[in-house]
Amino acid sequence: MKICGVIFFLLISTTFSGAQWQKQNIDTKASLRGLAVVSEKVIWASGTGGTVLRTVDGGKNWSVILVPEADKLDFRDIEAFDEQTAYILSIGTGDSSRIYKTTDGGKTWKLQFKNDNPKAFFDALAFWDRTHGIAMSDPVDGRYLLLETSDGETWKPLDNSKMPAAKDGEAAFAASGTCLLAQGANNVFLISGGADARVFRSTDRGRNWTVSDTPITKGTAGSGIFSIAMRDQSNGVIVGGNYEKPDEVNTNLAFTTDGGKTWTSGKGLNGYRSGVAYIDKKTLLAVGASGSDLSADGGRTWKNLDKENYNAVQSKGRRAVWAVGANGLVSRLIADF
């Protein structure tokens, strides 16, 4: 672990109510896709080369943590609960898909799960609380593979026989750690792309599932839903598009008002978006390879902020809005909402 102080911030001017991205100066070139904003002070991120980042003072100083014997792993998802406790998931076929946990702020890591199924490719994990979580892999033999933990220490297969079958060519995108979402006490959402763009939904922690069609663009290997966020039990948003054509404006936005049963298309995003987050009940932020967009009216209208290449975004209120991207990019959004 090495500690590097933030020497300066680069402010990117925008025209949305004074909104501006505040870039962090961190000594890493890792491509970052995992992001966990715990509070205004505590933020974690993860990415390539076995890299994990952590700040406990709101970005004044960052720890660059290299997980031992993981330099070839790509940690696409991170879930954190405080400045000491975090889970990370690496992607890939075979034993490249792994789950680690730290309880001492990244000083040590325990390998909790190493995939031994050569057909599996794990994408993301999500938690309802500190010890109850779920992880998912792309379909194997026609269905998504699921894992669960009930103690925060061990992972076991979760029966997927009651989950609707995946279509040929349908899979999830490990683009921002948000293709799997645990919400409320028992809800979980899994989103798909490729041959189809659908939302799988469970209200009992993955025991039983339903699936809903969406209007998001689909039909190619690079298109579909990339991120989901829920404001509450009923209201949510999905974003996506085609990562192979990041500037293309298509049906890349949709909303639900009935807990994910049905989805209605929206418009206004400036291209493919891989991450979306609610800042408050009315304010939304979406990011992707071609920039970021901010909405102050619940997603009816959007203002493009910049053209920076961001992968993931997360918020814990107006004073804790963060995004990460390629080449060690970490930024905080400063705005007068």
Which CATH number goes with the domain that contains 109?
Answer: 2.130.10.10
Number of Cβ within 10 Å of residue 223's Cβ equals: 26
Q: How many domains does the chain have?
A: 1
Q: What's the pTM value of the predicted model, to 2 decimals?
A: 0.94
125-171 pLDDT per residue, tens = 999 999 999 999 999 999 999 999 999 999 999 999 999 999 999 99
Per-residue pLDDT of 273-297, as tens digits, reads: 999 999 999 999 999 999 999 999 9
Q: What is the DSSP string of 317-331?
A: STT-EEEEESTT-EE
Return the pLDDT at 336: 82
SS3 content of the chain, % helix, strand, coil (to 5): 0, 45, 55
> In sequence order, what are the residues at sequence separation of 6 or more whose Cβ sits closer than 8 angstroms to the Cβ of residue 259?
187, 201, 233, 234, 236
Can you tell me the distance from the alpha carbon of 244 to that of 139, in angstroms, rounded to the nearest whole number?
22
d(CA 284, CA 298): 7
CB atoms inside a 10 Å sphere around CB 220: 15
Residue 3 pLDDT class (50, 70, 90 cuts): very low
- Around Cβ 201, how many Cβ atoms within 10 Å? 21
Amino acid 229 reads: A
Residue whose token pair is 């609610």: 278
174-223 confidence digits (pLDDT tens):
999 999 999 999 999 999 999 999 999 999 999 999 999 999 999 999 99
User: What per-residue confidence (pLDDT) applies to 287?
Assistant: 99
| Owning domain of residue 91 | 2-334
d(CA 241, CA 265): 12
Whole-number pLDDT of residue 18: 79
